[in-house]
Amino acid sequence: MRRHPPDPTGRTPVTDEQQRPPAAVVFDALGAEYEKAFAGSEAHRRSLAWLLGRLAPGSRVLDVGSGTGRPTAEALAEAGHEVLGVDVSPVMVELAARQVPAASFRCADVRELPLDEASFDAVCVYFSLLQLDRREQAETVRRLVRALAPGGHLVLATVPLDVEGVDAVFMGQPVRVTSFAVPDLVAVAEEAGLDVLEREEALFTPAHPEAVPEPHVFLHCRRLRAVAAGS
């Protein structure tokens, strides 16, 4: 363990682990186990098929919380699209770059990543906002919608529970989870400037000894209007 010299001001030194986003710590620890646990999600694959059926050839797609690159970035890249995956976990980014060389990956917090207006044809947000609070989730969705070209598509998936700042254990890792019930998530999407075209709800049990059945919801959306920078 790295040790820090005493702070002459008397303050407690801040460790590297404390400075990292909580999600980075969790997903660094999970690594490839996360991919294995969720590989059997048929609803996720149906969601990808829905998106692939609506993309023009060579579309530019942003994959938020890209994980190991599978299945999302891999499916999109194999279909000939230009994919940028973003994840806060360096372990996940390294795995993704190795497994899906046809896509590009960056280790970054999407809340801080520079995103030009209308620069992507599609955005994927598969279960990547659960460790943000509700205000941060809503602001991130609005930010991603602004990065989406008018008429472009966004897929938003989460565990639809009406919980805020709840401590839990996910695949053996301690997490603090915040989410929305389905009607509230739909409202977040619509207030961000999205039209929710389709919705699928499913119950899925990850392939992991410590996993329990969890509800999933997939919102398939389209940006129809410009979104003001301050909205």
What does each of the 231 residues of the chain score in pLDDT, given as a tens digit?
Answer: 233 333 333 433 333 444 556 778 777 777 778 888 898 999 999 999 999 999 999 999 999 999 999 999 999 999 999 999 999 999 999 999 999 999 999 999 999 999 999 999 999 999 999 999 999 999 999 999 999 999 999 999 999 999 999 998 877 788 899 999 999 999 999 999 999 999 999 999 999 888 889 999 999 999 986 554 444
Give the pLDDT of residue 189.
Answer: 98
Q: What's the rounded Cα separation, in Å, for the pair 8 and 44? A: 52
Shortest CA distance to 189 belongs to which of 176, 161, 88, 197? 197
**Which neighbouring-strand residues pair with 158?**
217
Q: Which residues contact 72 (CB under 8 A, 6 or more apart)?
A: 44, 48, 63, 66, 85, 124, 126
Give the pLDDT of residue 9.
Answer: 35
